Amino acid sequence: MSTAGILQDLTDIVRIVLDHDDVVLTMATVATDVPDWDSMSHIMILVESERHFGMKFRTSEIEDLHNVGEFVDLIAQRTEG
């Protein structure tokens, strides 16, 4: 799956979880840029991403993420592997 495709799917998930239809994610977006992206919705976004992309993230991987781009790359790596 392409980086752009992953970013688009991730955007769809974030929009539903946060209930903001106009959220636009870029590779540089960080959670604090997005209204209502708090620790509770963060967990939901991670869990729904795991379900959507059919993979499970390690706690250490999650804790290392600094922005959306790193998350997209993590998913892309896993999709290839």
Partner 1 sequence: MRWLPKPEYSPAETLRGCTQADEGTWRVLVSLAQTQLSNLEILQVDRCLRRLFPDRPPAWLTAPGTRLKLLGTSTFDHLLPFLRVGALRHGLWLTTSTGDYGQCTLQAGDEGHDTVLLAHDARTLLAGLNAAASASEAEDEGERIAQRIVAAWRDAQAAGCGVIQQTILPVFPSVFGNAEHRLPGSRAAAVERLNLRLQTLADAEGVDLVAVHRHAAQEGLAAWHDPALWHRAKQEIHPGAAPLYGDLVARVIGARQGRSRKVLVLDLDNTLWGGVIGDDGIAGIVLGQGSAAGEAFVEFQHFVRDLSRRGVILAVSSKNEEASARRPFEAHPDMVLRLADIACFAANWTDKAANLRAISERLAIGLDAFVFVDDNPAERALVRRELPMVAVPELPDDPSGYPALLGDAGFFEATRLSDEDRHRSEQYQANRLRRSVEPASVTDMAGYLSSLDMLLHWGAVDAASLPRVVQLINKSNQFNLTTRRTTDAALAESLRNRRAVSLQLRLVDRFGNNGLIAVVLARHDGEGLRVTDWLMSCRVLKRGVEAATFNVLLAEARRVGARHLLGTFRPTGKNAMVSDHYRTLGFDLLATEEDGTTQWGMAVDAASLLPVPMRIEPPVLARLAVGFAA
Q: Can you tell me which of 27, 34, 47, 55 binds partner 1, judged by CB under 8 A?
A: 47
Q: Can you tell me which of 8, 26, 40, 77 binds partner 1, judged by CB under 8 A?
A: 40
| Phi and psi based region of residue 29 (left: phi greater than 0; alpha: psi -120 to 50; beta: remaining) | beta
Q: Can you tell me which of 1, 31, 34, 44 binds partner 1, judged by CB under 8 A?
A: 44
Q: Counting contacts by CB under 8 A, is residue 17 touching partner 1?
A: yes
User: Distance between alpha carbon 5 and the CA centroid of its chain, in Å?
Assistant: 12
Token readout for 50 is 């795991």
Q: Counting contacts by CB under 8 A, is residue 10 touching partner 1?
A: no
Q: Which residues of 39-55 are buried (b: 16+ CB within 10 A; e: fewer)?
A: eebeeebeebbeeebee
Residue ranges that bind partner 1, judged by CB under 8 A: 13, 16-17, 19, 39-40, 43-44, 47-48, 51, 58-59, 62
